[in-house]
A and B are shown apart, each in its own frame.
Chain A
Amino acid sequence: MTLNAFLFQVLNGLSSASGLFLIAAGLSLIFGVTRIVNLAHGSLYMLGTYIAYTFATKIGGVTGFWGGIVATAIIVGIIGALIEIVLLRRIYRAPELFQLLATFALVLVINDAALWLWGPADLLGPRAPGFRGAVEILGRRLPTYDLFLIVIGPLVLLALHLTLTRTRFGRLIRAATQDREMVGALGVNQAVLFTSVFALGAALAGLGGALQIAREPANLATDLIALGDAFVVVVVGGMGSIPGAYLAAVIIAEVKALCVGIGVVDFGFFTINFSKFTLVAEFLVMAIVLIVRPYGLLGKAQGAVRSIAEPEEPIRPATPLLKALGIVVLAVLLCLPLLAQGSPYLLVLGIDVLIAVIFATSLHFIMGPGGMHSFGHAAYFGLGAYGAALLVKWLAFPMGVALIAAPLLALAGALLFGWFAVRLSGVYLAMLTLAFAQIVWAAVFQWEGFTGGSNGVIGVWPPPPFDKSWAYFLLTLVLAAAAVLLLRRFLFAPFGYAMRAGRDSPLRAEAVGIDVKRVHWLAFAIAGLVCGVAGGLFAFAKGSISPETIHINRSIDGLVMVLLGGVQTLTGPIVGASVFALLQDTVMRQTEYWRALMGAIILLLVLTFPQGIVGAFASLWRKMGGRI
């Protein structure tokens, strides 16, 4: 690469950085003030692209394009405010992270709404009036619109910065970002503050989307892509820090542009195609930054957020009623192969449900009692699945050995990643786990020769008698029951108490001699190990695995299962996983717009059971004077 080519790629990077910054700035604001992990942020961005496209093509011309961009930002801002008022406000008192579930449902609903309104085809907007061409720089042609974007990013940054530092509204936002309770103490109407911040954040997302229509088509996949980008930028920059978001956007965009610019390099013995690294570049940056600067580049350690949710009930050993119920469920499941002779699919579905139960229970183990919200639990599922599949593929191991070895690989991964992750807390821990999972995903995706790349590994079938679904179902049932009971046992043992102690009050826990990091590290490892069992079982159940087993979608599914069941209960993840898996099976069969239906059902559950399904029943039961 010549110097000019290099410099030119730096310019390309700067224009991409502006786009990234606009997506991320709103998310950063929203998170900073409301502490809501807004999964629907990418959906708001996507709405921005579609709405701006509509203005630009239906009205057309300068007004349609530029006026449309402004109008889009306003409209998306209003949509954001509505989401906050109608939905999120009702569930602020729910356990931490529960709002994530609601925003997850919104992702599904908004995506289907966009499909219904705008159709399936990609929609490319017109070129921007006034910025249609290119200018010569360094002997190359740079689109004038890129120049415009290079300027607009810092301008928005400046405007936001002035708003945050020079206005009362801005000072409130900054104060709330540092210490939310203080703002409440100052007599500020928190509801109005939250609504306006949500609206502002949404408007920024809409603006970001609208500005992209001159460069890329409105497309139904952009919601998740934008969301992923936004998270990385926000975390790298530091939650709530707008200049941090810009800095992070620049770093990530430049790293990518340079990877592309470098292209294929021949090192003699081997060649590396650096353009392939754009797949993982942002997550590598994120992992490095979080390890070196846990609060992001310009982030500050935040005051401990005391949850406004009801604290958790003490855990009690199972009552005779619950034990009896457990035995009945287990007995029914054991008889299922006999009962299901008429409909063998029940067993297939049962296997999936049980695998989901192991997955969710292991996630809950660290997420509930450990207070570590892993956003990358799929990593251990995937390591288990790949561990098993690759042992069968390369070393022709029998299934038994593969199923034992698979969790060990997951354990190794959990030990390594957990060592770093337990040094952080809250959303930073969540994001570091996500980064690690994405790195594993990218490594598996990239390492074609060994892992089969995007195709994955196929032909991993269980030997007889386990090729019959009844036998495999029973095997899965035994392992699932063992996993659930074992994890439960651990939670009632001193170790489980130490985990909760470290979560309830790290200060107090350390002050009574508990090495909280070590306890949480071990918990992370146990969760990884058990999750690996689920992964191994999955590989043989499906006969093939692919990088999707590690994908962020699976991690989010896990979060949804745990939250749906109730993070503060021990049976919650079992119920949540079962309900989610059954819903998915049912809903996907029912309708063309199954995503919207799924989203609507989750929204209904969220509003009906703000503590999760089991949590709601448990508190109802307590109110009636019963004990579980």
Chain B
Amino acid sequence: MSVSDLSVLELRALSKSFGGVHAVRDVSFEIGKGEFLAMIGPNGAGKSTCFNMINGQLAPDSGEILCEGRSIAGLAPRDIWRLGVGRTFQVAATFGSMTVIENVQMALISHTRETFRLWRPAASHHRGRALELLAQVGMEEAADRPSRELAYGDVKRVELAIALANDPRLLLMDEPTAGMGAGERHGLIELVKRLVVERGISVLFTEHSMDVVFAFADRIIVLARGRLIADGDAAAIRDNAEVREVYFGTGKTFALSASQGAKA
């Protein structure tokens, strides 16, 4: 498939190494518009490094990252965000000294480039829009609570509202369900899926929980030792011998591992 106008993000032969260790090697893939793409792989496969390069926290050694055809490799995270790439973190990061709604308002203020305003109180900026976003993630009740008091699952929802504040075209979600119980996990991913489908947002997410991946991802890519080893839909990945080899060293199936994961 050539670079079509349907591709939101394209990685071309991306590589990164740390002190001689290849964290990411020659990885290429693309994400279509509205696609829900999961990136999986064992620990140390290079997922986070990949994310951090797309998001601008790391500069690649070589290769290209194109966001809607525009090269973004080496740009600062904030510039990449302005191009419509939102991000949530593995360990949820919100502004702990602010209330829930202020967290969202902050993102909206930044989106409208009002960060350097010195006079009118921030509280009076975009309150309505912020409430709307919070309502969409089911957090409007908690709007005026300090964000540091929230339960972990709720923090994830707030992060999602923050990420949606700049009307992103692509969301990068690093283990969105890490640290959550099984029921909560599905709830959150369902919410994400609903929101992005409504808006036509593409999502690239990493996930350890295979039941979530196979239930929700439109497509799955698999990294191992820094290389992309598989790319396809759930069935194709399930049947891929190399993936099984990497994950289990044997012919065990994902169905088994998913049930173990749920118990853990």
Contact = CB atoms under 8 A, between A and B. Distances in A.
Contacts of A522: 116
A513 B82 contact: yes
Interface residues of B, number: 40
A493 B121 contact: yes
Nearest to A510: B77
B110 A504 contact: no
Contacts of B93: 505, 507-508, 511
B81 A497 contact: no
B106 interface: yes
Interface in A473-511: 489-490, 492-498, 500-501, 503-505, 507-511
B162 A497 contact: no
A492 B123 CA distance: 8
A490 B118 contact: yes
A493 B116 CA distance: 9
Given A497-B102, A511-B87, A512-B106, A311 B117 contact: no
Interface string A11-30: 00000000000000000000
Contacts of B177: none
Contacts of A495: 115-118
Given A500-B97, A505-B93, A505-B96, A513 B110 contact: yes
Contacts of A490: 118
A529 interface: no
Query: How many A residues are at the interface, by size bracket?
Result: 20 to 34
A314 interface: yes
B122 A497 contact: yes
Contacts of B110: 498, 512-514
A513 B123 contact: no
Contacts of A492: 121-123
A494 B107 CA distance: 10
A515 interface: yes
User: What's the dominant secondary structure at chain A's contact region?
Assistant: helix
Contacts of A509: 95
A313 interface: yes
Contact of B98 (A493, A497, A510): A497
A490 B98 CA distance: 16
Interface in B142-169: 146, 148, 162, 165-166
Contact of B96 (A312, A498, A512): A312
A426 interface: no
A513 B95 contact: no
A519 interface: yes
A509 B77 CA distance: 9
A569 to B, nearest CB: 12
B189 to A, nearest CB: 21
B202 interface: no
A326 interface: no
A580 B79 CA distance: 45
A317 interface: yes
A523 to B, nearest CB: 11
A494 B97 contact: no
Nearest to B147: A314
B125 interface: yes
A489 B116 CA distance: 13
A513 B76 CA distance: 9
Given A493-B122, A497-B109, A497-B122, A311 B148 contact: yes
Interface in B42-82: 55, 57, 76-78, 81-82
B125 to A, nearest CB: 6
Contacts of B206: none
A431 B159 CA distance: 34
Given A489-B119, A514-B78, A497 B148 contact: no
Contact of B97 (A311, A489, A514, A519): A311
Contacts of B247: none
B76 to A, nearest CB: 7
Contact of B95 (A313, A493, A504): A504
A511 B55 contact: yes
A611 to B, nearest CB: 14
A317 B123 CA distance: 10
B120 A493 contact: yes
Contact of A494 (B78, B81, B109, B166): B109
A436 B132 CA distance: 47
Nearest to A486: B118
B89 interface: yes
B15 interface: no
B118 A313 contact: no
Contact of A511 (B81, B98, B109, B148): B81
Among A313, A490, A498, A515, the one with the most B-chain Cβ atoms within 10 Å of its Cβ is: A498
Contacts of B165: 512
Given A511-B81, A512-B81, A512-B106, A500 B116 contact: no
Contacts of B57: 507
B239 interface: no
B209 interface: no
Contacts of B78: 510-515
Nearest to B97: A312
B50 to A, nearest CB: 16
B87 to A, nearest CB: 5
A507 B48 CA distance: 14
A496 B97 CA distance: 12
A497 B81 CA distance: 19
A311 B146 CA distance: 10
A615 to B, nearest CB: 13
A495 B110 CA distance: 10
Nearest to A310: B148
B111 interface: yes
B94 A493 contact: no
B81 A513 contact: yes
B184 interface: no
A345 to B, nearest CB: 38
A529 to B, nearest CB: 12
Interface string A314-332: 1101000000000000000
B156 to A, nearest CB: 13
A498 B146 contact: no
B164 to A, nearest CB: 11
B245 interface: no
Contacts of A508: 89, 93-95, 162
Contacts of A314: 97-99, 102, 146
A376 to B, nearest CB: 25
A489 B118 contact: yes
A500 B98 CA distance: 8
Interface string B7-46: 0000000000000000000000000000000000000000
Contacts of A494: 106, 109, 114-117, 120, 122, 125
A515 B81 CA distance: 11
A273 B94 CA distance: 55
A429 B62 CA distance: 33
Among B89, B105, B122, the one with the most A-chain Cβ atoms within 10 Å of its Cβ is: B122
Interface string A283-317: 00000000000000000000000000001111101
Among A314, A501, A512, the one with the most B-chain Cβ atoms within 10 Å of its Cβ is: A512
A527 to B, nearest CB: 13
A236 B76 CA distance: 29
6 contacts: A314-B97, A314-B99, A492-B123, A493-B122, A507-B89, A511-B77
Given A495-B115, A503-B97, A514-B110, 16 more contacts: A312-B97, A317-B121, A317-B123, A492-B121, A493-B120, A494-B106, A494-B117, A495-B118, A496-B122, A500-B95, A504-B96, A505-B94, A511-B81, A511-B89, A512-B165, A513-B78
8 closest cross-chain pairs (CB), A and B: A508-B93, A504-B95, A312-B97, A513-B110, A512-B107, A510-B77, A497-B122, A494-B117
